[in-house]
Amino acid sequence: MKKKQVRDYLSSKENRRKLYIRGIQLLILLAIISVVVSKFFLSDKSLDIQSFTLIHFAGYLFFIVMPVETLIPIYLSAGHSGITLIIIALLTAMFAQMIDYAIGYAISHKIRGKLISEKRFAKMETQINKWGGLTIFIFNLFPLSSPILAAVAGMIRFSFRKLIFYSFLGLTIKYVVIVLLF
């Protein structure tokens, strides 16, 4: 579709409603897929490092929502080293968030001006540049959806270095605390 066709399509209230409904359906489908994928991987009775790596990586992609923090106690109880789990968790989470950011960055020009007005986008960008580092840190420190935030950071062209720094800091603290608690 060309820009004018997209604008014309989105100018209709009925078309926007259809788009929102499709978006909600897609989110529900992704939630179902996330549950099925996580149950599939966790049903494997052999809790080896490869399964932890794969599940953790998949859980940090923004389109698969899984509570990957719960994997740490499960794999610790299976006898895996806390240090090993922390290192793998950090590497897989950071790599997946880089992918999330790149996807957001790649599609940002497609949403700007089409789904979000330039004025609203500029306001949102100002707020994220002001509070983005703290927000990214908090979303990575707690079991919030940091992968989605990484994709949004890419969409608004938030500093990649800041994303990496605050994500790594939040994730490191979170996983060290989880390992120490369990």
pLDDT means over runs of 10, the chain (182 residues):
62 75 74 66 72 88 80 93 97 95 84 70 78 92 88 89 96 97 92
Q: Measured between alpha carbons, how far is 161 from 159 in angstroms, rounded to an integer? A: 5
Give the start-to-end residue ranges of the domains of the chain.
3-181
User: What pLDDT was estimated at residue 27?
Assistant: 73
pLDDT at 170: 97
Mean per-residue pLDDT of the chain: 83
pLDDT of residue 114: 66
Which tokens sit at 23?
Answer: 């978006």
Contacts of residue 129, Cβ cutoff 8 Å, sequence gap at least 6:
158
For the chain, give percent helix, strand, coil, nearest 5.
Answer: 80, 0, 20
The predicted structure's pLDDT at residue 3: 62
pLDDT of residue 115: 65
The answer to whether the pTM exceeds 0.75 is no
Distance CA 21, CA 168 (A): 35
